[in-house]
């Protein structure tokens, strides 16, 4: 890449936009925590249960943080720090953003990290990444309240059905994402199966021994075992 492109990666306006976006994300996170605490009181959760739930979520984010961080480092070298921070801060998927960046570069007839990657190509990448991530953000903004009303109506008519639908939706979404990655190669499959096995094993052990703190660490442990298993399999 040329010096001109490297300079375009870290312009002052781009940094200002990135920090503005991150501040909005942090504000939203704090508001969600505040609303969650308020809702917890309404549904009868104790202060201890709320703290346990928050601690479990924090611990569960450790695994995704490390896996995401590795990809972020490589993405920074290709599109710069401000754009990487802004996009990952909103979407949270390094693989999705890397694919969008490559699509934008290819649309301009270039490729990330090459000498043909000009400032104009970088501009195309920015537009591709930003416009490509607008779909679910607009849908959330426009239809969250309506979907919430539908949920309340279903819950009023049949609470058990709403619970089944919610659980099935979560299982379907995460199952699809997991299977999509596991079919890539044998290493990915091993990583996925080992993570699943480890998760159930840790939960079973926690239940048998009464060590509830293991439940909080179960997701992080499963992810680490899965990643190491996949890595070791790739060496064979």
pLDDT per residue, tens digit, the chain (236 aa), is: 677 888 888 888 889 988 998 898 889 888 888 888 888 877 777 777 778 777 777 776 776 666 667 667 777 888 888 888 888 777 766 667 777 888 888 888 888 878 888 888 888 888 888 887 787 778 777 877 777 777 777 777 777 776 777 778 778 877 877 787 788 888 888 888 988 898 889 888 888 887 776 776 777 788 788 888 888 888 87
Tell me, what's the pLDDT at 70?
A: 66
DSSP string, the chain: --HHHHHHHT-HHHHHHHHHHHHHHHHHHHHHHHHHHHHHHHTT--HHHHHHHHHHHHHHTHHHHHHHHHHHHHHHHHH-HHHHHHHHHHT--HHHHHHHHHHHHHHTT--TTSTT--HHHHHHHHHHHHHHTHHHHHHHHHHHHHHHHHHHHHHHH-HHHHHHHHHHHHHHHHHHHHHHHHTS-HHHHHHHHHHHHHHHHHHHHHHHHT-THHHHHHHHHHHHHHHHHHHHHHH-
Write down the pTM of the prediction. 0.59
């Amino acid at each position: 890449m040329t010096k001109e492109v490297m300079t375009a990666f870290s312009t002052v306006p781009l940094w200002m936009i990135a920090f503005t976006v991150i501040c909005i994300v942090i504000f939203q996170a704090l508001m969600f925590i505040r609303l969650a605490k308020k809702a917890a009181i309404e549904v009868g959760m104790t202060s201890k249960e709320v703290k346990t739930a928050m601690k479990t979520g924090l611990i569960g984010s450790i695994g995704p943080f490390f896996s995401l961080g590795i990809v972020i480092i490589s993405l920074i070298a290709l599109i710069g720090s401000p754009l990487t921070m802004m996009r990952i801060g909103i979407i949270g998927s390094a693989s999705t953003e890397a694919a969008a960046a490559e699509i934008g570069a290819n649309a301009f007839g270039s490729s990330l990290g090459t000498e043909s990657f000009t400032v104009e190509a970088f501009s195309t990448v920015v537009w591709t990444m930003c416009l490509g991530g607008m779909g679910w953000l607009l849908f959330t903004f426009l239809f969250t309240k309506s979907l919430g009303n539908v949920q309340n109506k279903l819950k009023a008519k049949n609470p058990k059905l709403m619970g089944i639908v919610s659980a099935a939706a979560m299982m379907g979404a995460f199952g699809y994402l997991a299977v999509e990655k596991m079919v890539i190669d044998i290493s990915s499959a091993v990583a996925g199966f080992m993570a699943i096995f480890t998760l159930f094993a840790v939960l079973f052990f926690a239940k048998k021994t009464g060590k509830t703190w293991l439940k909080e660490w179960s997701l992080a442990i499963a992810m680490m075992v899965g990643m190491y298993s996949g890595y070791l399999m790739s060496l064979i």
